[in-house]
Structure 1
Amino acid sequence: MSYPRRVAAGVVAALGALAIGIVVPAPAIAEPSTPASYPTASSATRLQGYFFDTCTAPSLSALAAWRGRSPYTGVNIYFGGRNRGCAQPNLTPSWVQSAAAAGWSLVPTYFGDQPFCMSGSKPYRYAASGAAARGAADGNDAVAKARALGLRAGSALYADVEHYDRAAAGCTPAVRTYVSEWTRALHRAGFLAGVYVHQESGLRDLAYGYNWTSYARPDAVWMARWDNVATVTNWPTASNSLWAEWQRSKQYRGDHNETWGGVTMNIDSDVIKGPVATVAKNYRVTSTSTLNVRSGPSSAYPIIGTLAPNATVSVVCQSRGQVVGTTSVWDRITSGGFVTDRYVSTPSTTGFSAGLPICSYPGQLNISTPVNTRSGPGTAYAANGTVQGGGLAYVACQKAGTKVGTTSVWNQLVDGRWLSDYYVANASNTTYSAPVPRCP
């Protein structure tokens, strides 16, 4: 097959001591934890499990044959880049919508320009002097192509970085610069920046410079090591403390055929605990009267629109809010507003629905050491875990609490834990950050 292959290895030192709410000087909101600017109708989506990658996006009939029969719940798509080697006759907005509606998670990969020192024959390459411009250009193009396919802001887009000669003069700084500008371009548009890297070059170099302030740090890494060990921990090139918060994927088996439901495909096998694409899903308004669209997940927020009975509504994600009938769930729709899930035909009438993400707006921790999470929005609440330094905090909502550093804002994460916003790179380290809703 003509699509990229990777193998993996290397060592990185462990990170430092635990931060326990001690006030420290105001952290920077630039590199390495460059904040993303999320638009209103956005959300991150996470996947834990198995996916497969193949050069050409499979037909919907092939996906239907594999769904529920194979161990895979996700599929990679090569959605752009000048070095993309395969035609994509199936990859259309309709295909994306149908694949997502059928329950498939999508892992979008962009096969853009490669470093001048790349090992291989791909024709489009950047020189060291052009790495910054190329990284920004590829990032901007990836965002445009992702949007054209219906991938929402908050999606993770993965840049393919092929194996390269680290001994070549200027090679490693060029790659770091490309990845940094790719990351910055995606963050400006509200997307998460992932990279698909070789264990002996890209992963090694990015891990070594994980906390460097010279470069923006990507949000997620996807590496290959064909050892048939499906794990996202204990990698030889990156300590478990790096990209530790739902930020990892591994290609653990290379080219091989698998047959499920009578359909054979040549694939690589992958395991993931990390961010994927966000795709809005269509449902129906079930109320018998006009359904109000509000600016937040409660009837206390202003009405910003309405939906007619039986109208189609495209749901991006779900958020906790005011109780209406049997549910406290509210749906964030593609206009950016919220409607109560009580009157939407999602699978559940009492809680979050399978197949829809909990609304989240991730920000990297802007310090290098782990930070305690709490059972409530304040330092007086019991510690109940940590978020690793530099890791992603998947923020669901914000609420006022104990002042830490320059802010009294606390973030509730999608798993219910609380983290001071002071340690999270987002739009502000003094007040609330749009479009994150207030916690009920």
Structure 2
Amino acid sequence: MTTALAALAIGIMAPTPAQADPATPAAYPSASSATRISGSFFDTCTAPSLTALAAWRGRSPYTGVNIYFGGRNRGCAQPNLTAPWVRSATAAGWSLVPTYFGDQPFCVFGSKPYRYAASGAAARGAADGADAVAKARSLGLLPGSALYADVEHYDRAAAGCTTAVRTYVSEWTRALHRAGFLAGIYAHQDSGVRDLAASYLSTTLARPDAIWMARWDNVATTTNWPTAGNTLWAEWQRAKQYRGDHLETWGGVTMNVDSDIIRGPVATVLRPYRVTSSGVLNVRSGPSSAYPVIGTLAPGSVVSLICQARGQTVGTTSVWDRISNGGFVSDRYVSTPSSTTFSAPLQRCSSPGQVTISTPVNTRSGPGTSYAVSGSLQGGALAWVACQKAGTLVGSTRVWNQLVDGRWMSDYYVSNASNTTYSSPVPRCP
């Protein structure tokens, strides 16, 4: 089937290339998953103490906190920011928004000391991306996590400035994708957001997966932005810093913070539970007893979970847990809060891929073009893929993706590992 006919079959017209780069998105390793949230978070220069977080938890409006985890322009010491702190903060219910304050463009406003010239933008973006991955891993942030590069406000009128920023962001994105991470950008509404929105459909630059806009207008919204229309970064891919430095006091603890709202990706971390089976628990390569056994867990042992997937029904549940080695165990034998369904704060396992055409793609109620239309995804948006199943032939593949919200779309229009067959580590749908 030609591309045009395939497009007509799923209800879209005249597709044009929108895939930013052949390497996008990441080739996810088995022990990975994306995590997305919708809610409020705060950012502050130094990662707060666990005592401060405990005072704010449940009293403040925030459920997430930013962490400045690296970069040569990072201005604050981070005595609290360690792997044990990450584990404790997330165990206490905090989502983490990792921010890397790397080199800035030569045309940046302000006095940040480390800057790249236009000629060095590509090398600097790649170097910062590689360093960010290494530092994220050292803190226990897993592949599938979103890492945000801080791009401060800059002078767009300076010759070569916009090109330098776009180049840096593209190479940052590629470096993260090669390692299995999602690439986010923090930027001012009138410089970085404006310029990245204008190059959104570029076929030579790698498109970042998420955008975090700075606009201090006290309007907490991830839509109707003045410099990035709602069709860009449209599918759980946005955050906004809507209020700058100010003091807030909750639970008797005062911090100087910025206020933010997010509907997008954050850090993925391991969460510890216990094996509740009476005998040895088999670890399988997929969410079903039909998959090969790749290991075992002893009764009562601690098991670290990444995410949860739908699979074979065992006892009262069809939920399976992906563990730290990438394998799966039935949730029936793990001490998660629910014995029948998914358990917060664990996320549904997902491997997002960008929609590779510029026009919206219809989603369906099942894996085929004969199923009812159940919505659409904008061109270039992220398809949050939970599992894959055979369905109607579209283009070069019969593979269809079930998204984490239950909708289906043809894999032909999602830029994951394969355009013809199933893509590891995405499991098969039951």
Q: Which TM bucket (shorter chain)?
A: over 0.9
Map 1:366-385; keep pairs closer than 5 Å: 366-385=356-375
Q: Does 1:432 align with 2:422?
A: yes
Where does residue 143 of structure 1 map in the other structure? 133
Change (3 A) 1:299 1:230: same
- What amino acid sits opposite 2:61 in the alignment? P
* Residues 374, 384 of structure 1: 8 Å contact kept: yes
Deviation per residue, 1:75-114 (Å, 9 max, x gap): 0000000000000000000000000000000000000000
Change (3 A) 1:18 1:371: farther
> 1:249 is matched with which residue: 233, 239, 256?
239
Q: Determine the C-alpha separation between the residues in 2 that align with 1:193 and 1:19.
A: 32
* Residues 357, 413 of structure 2: 8 Å contact kept: yes
> 1:343 is matched with which residue: 324, 333, 338?
333
1:226 Cα deviation after fit = 1.1
- What amino acid sits opposite 1:296 in the alignment? G
Q: Determine the C-alpha separation between the residues in 2 that align with 1:127 and 1:101.
A: 42
* Residues 51, 272 of structure 1: 8 Å contact kept: yes
- What amino acid sits opposite 2:383 in the alignment? A
Q: Determine the C-alpha separation between the residues in 2 that align with 1:67 and 1:218.
A: 31
Structure 2 gap ranges (5+)? 1-6
Deviation per residue, 1:372-425 (Å, 9 max, x gap): 000000000000000111000000000000011111100000000001001101
* Residues 128, 170 of structure 1: 8 Å contact kept: yes
Where does residue 225 of structure 1 map in the other structure? 215
> 2:249 is matched with which residue: 253, 259, 281?
259
Where does residue 10 of structure 1 map in the other structure? none
Q: Determine the C-alpha separation between the residues in 2 that align with 1:71 and 1:249.
A: 16
* Residues 15, 357 of structure 2: 8 Å contact kept: no
> 2:184 is matched with which residue: 180, 190, 194?
194
Partner of 2:246: helix, strand, or coil? strand
1:363 Cα deviation after fit = 0.5
Where does residue 342 of structure 2 map in the other structure? 352
When the two structures are aligned, how many residues end up with a matched partner? Answer: 424
Q: Does 1:310 align with 2:300?
A: yes
Map 1:57-206; keep pairs closer than 5 Å: 57-206=47-196
1:69 Cα deviation after fit = 0.8
Q: Does 1:284 align with 2:274?
A: yes
Q: Determine the C-alpha separation between the residues in 2 that align with 1:393 and 1:33.
A: 16
1:200 Cα deviation after fit = 0.9
Partner of 1:63: helix, strand, or coil? helix
Where does residue 230 of structure 2 map in the other structure? 240
1:29 Cα deviation after fit = 6.0
Change (3 A) 1:28 1:265: closer
Change (3 A) 1:401 1:18: closer
Where does residue 3 of structure 2 map in the other structure? none
Q: Determine the C-alpha separation between the residues in 1 that align with 2:380 and 2:365.
A: 21
TM-score normalized by the length of structure 2: 0.96
- Percent identity over the alignment is 81
* Residues 33, 390 of structure 1: 8 Å contact kept: no
* Residues 20, 205 of structure 2: 8 Å contact kept: no
1:35 Cα deviation after fit = 2.4
Where does residue 325 of structure 1 map in the other structure? 315
Where does residue 9 of structure 1 map in the other structure? none
- What amino acid sits opposite 1:428 in the alignment? S
Change (3 A) 1:37 1:26: farther
Deviation per residue, 1:187-211 (Å, 9 max, x gap): 0111000000011110000001110
Partner of 2:221: helix, strand, or coil? coil
Q: Determine the C-alpha separation between the residues in 1 that align with 2:140 and 2:9.
A: 40
* Residues 12, 362 of structure 2: 8 Å contact kept: no
Q: Does 1:396 align with 2:366?
A: no
- What amino acid sits opposite 2:393 in the alignment? K
Give RMSD over aligned pairs. Answer: 1.6
Partner of 1:399: helix, strand, or coil? strand
Change (3 A) 1:174 1:26: closer
Partner of 2:322: helix, strand, or coil? strand
Q: Determine the C-alpha separation between the residues in 1 that align with 2:127 and 2:278.
A: 48
1:261 Cα deviation after fit = 0.8
1:44 Cα deviation after fit = 0.3
* Residues 239, 260 of structure 2: 8 Å contact kept: yes
> 2:354 is matched with which residue: 360, 364, 381?
364
Where does residue 44 of structure 1 map in the other structure? 34
Deviation per residue, 1:226-266 (Å, 9 max, x gap): 11110000000000110010000001111111111111111
Q: Determine the C-alpha separation between the residues in 1 that align with 2:176 and 2:334.
A: 32
1:25 Cα deviation after fit = 8.2
* Residues 287, 310 of structure 1: 8 Å contact kept: yes
Partner of 1:133: helix, strand, or coil? helix
Q: Determine the C-alpha separation between the residues in 2 that align with 1:199 and 1:352.
A: 37
1:20 Cα deviation after fit = 3.4
Q: Determine the C-alpha separation between the residues in 1 that align with 2:18 and 2:415.
A: 8
Change (3 A) 1:225 1:18: farther
1:21 Cα deviation after fit = 4.4
Partner of 1:264: helix, strand, or coil? strand
Structure 1 gap ranges (5+)? 1-16
* Residues 18, 380 of structure 2: 8 Å contact kept: no
Change (3 A) 1:244 1:28: closer
Deviation per residue, 1:302-348 (Å, 9 max, x gap): 00000000011000000000000110000000101000000000111
* Residues 174, 206 of structure 2: 8 Å contact kept: yes
1:225 Cα deviation after fit = 1.1
TM-score normalized by the length of structure 1: 0.94
